[in-house]
Amino acid sequence: MSEPQMPEDDAETAAAIDWLAGDEGVWDAEMEVTPFPGAPVSRTSGTSTNRMVAGRWLVTDIVTDSGYAGHGIYGWDPGARQFVAAWVDVMGGSIARGTGTLDDAGEIMTYEVAVQYEGRTARYREVTERRPDGTRLYRNLQPTPEGAEHETVRAVYSPRPG
């Protein structure tokens, strides 16, 4: 059986896929969750296993000590010329979908995400920063009624050696 033929990628697509591939591997996570302003902070640890599928899609699976589990697919849509994401987890039955932008330095990825929840659309931002020490800082930011943002999740991901 022959290998399926992939379309030729332009330089922008190839760079985007290379950027995503930088998150392959197993990562240890230390997470802080604050579900709403003023709520006590809940801390948990977990493991995120990330792999590239078909040389194009970063597939992420995370499991934490607190029982949280989630699965994400991240990629580059060459037609729309933007990063795209889909996420499902134990918190609900809907698929969260997002589009992402990378800052000019190639260090901070921001996804604008929307998910259907109890008959309404919930929107939030996910911001992941690649830090000089090789760790990743992830922040989940929910809008507040006052127009500010509340950090519901803060996680530091450290690459597991080897």
Using CA atoms, how far residue 90 sits from 63, 66, 67, in Å, is 10, 12, 9
Model's pTM, two decimal places? 0.91
Q: pLDDT digit string (tens) for 10-23?
A: 999 999 999 999 99
Nearest to 158 by CA among 126, 134, 131: 134
Q: pLDDT digit string (tens) for 80-103?
A: 999 999 999 998 889 999 999 999
Instruction: List 136's β-bridge partners, or say none.
Output: 130, 157
